[in-house]
Amino acid sequence: MPLSLEKIVRAAAWTACPVVLAMLVLFLMSGVGQDPLQSVHSGSVYSSLLLRNPAALRATLALDNLFIVLYGTAFVGTGVLLVRRGTTAVLAVLVSVLLGAVALLDSLENLNFLVLLAQAEQGSGPSDAAIGAQVLESLFKFHVSYLGLFLLGLALPRRTASERWLARLCCYVQLPVGLAIHVTPPAVAFPLVLVRFAFFLSALILAGWIFGAPTAAGGSGAPE
C-alpha cells in the first residue's frame, strides 16, 4: 500500500534534519562548505577554496544533494496539502512551483561546484565570468527561496500554535535575515547565515509536525 502524502512529507522533512546537521558538523570539523563559493573572489582565491579539502567538499555536496531531495519533497508536498486544508489553489501552486524551483537551482549549483572542482584539480582555475555566473545563480536560488517561503507563510492556515509559529518564521524571520545576508559585511553576514540555518531546521521540524498527519474534515492535521 503506498504511503500517504502526509507520511511522505513528514518522513522527508524530519529525515532532512539530521542530514543538514551532518553538513554542519562536517563544516565545523573541516572548515569546508559551499558558502565561500557563493561569493565573488579572484580566480586564484576561488581555486584555493575549491582545493582546500576536495574530499570534504565532495562529501558536503553529496550530503547537500540528499538534503535537496528531502526538502524538495517536503516543501512541494506541503503545497499540495495546503489546497486540502483550504488555501487558495493559486497561492498553493506558487508555493510548490517556487520551492520546487529552489531544489532544481540548488542541484544545478552543486553540480557546477563539482565541475569547477574537477577543473581546478586539473590545473584549470575558473575564469572571472564563470565565477560571476555561479555567484549569480546562487543569489537567484536564495532569492527564489525567500519568496517561496514568504508565500508559504502567507498561505498557512493559523488554526494551531505550530502553524502560527511557522507562518511567523517564514514571514518575519527568514525573509529579512536572508535579504540582509547579501548586503552586510562578512562579520555580520556569518551570524545571519547561522540564523538562516536555524530557520531551515525549525521550518522542517514544524512542517513535518503540521502536515505529517491526515486531516479530519475541517481540521489542520497537527495536534496542539
Q: How many CA atoms lie within 13 A of 133 on its CB side?
A: 9
Distinct helix (H) and strand (E) counts, the chain: 8, 0
C-alpha cell at 132: 560571476
Model confidence at 217, pLDDT cuts 50, 70, 90, reads very low
In the prediction, which pLDDT does 26 show? 96
Q: Does the pLDDT at position 73 exceed 50?
A: yes
Proportion of the chain above pLDDT 90, given as a percent: 90
pLDDT digits (tens, 9 = 90+) for 7-39: 999 999 999 999 999 999 999 999 999 999 999
Model confidence at 224, pLDDT cuts 50, 70, 90, reads very low
In the prediction, which pLDDT does 221 show? 52
* Close Cβ partners of 131 (under 8 Å, ≥ 6 residues apart): 40, 41, 43, 46
CB atoms within 10 A of CB 11: 16
Contact yes or no for 141/112 (Cβ under 8 A) = no
Q: Does the pLDDT at position 64 exceed 80?
A: yes
In the prediction, which pLDDT does 218 show? 43
The one-character DSSP state at 223 is -
Contact yes or no for 186/35 (Cβ under 8 A) = no
In the prediction, which pLDDT does 113 show? 98
Identity of the residue numbered 19: V
Contact yes or no for 34/91 (Cβ under 8 A) = no
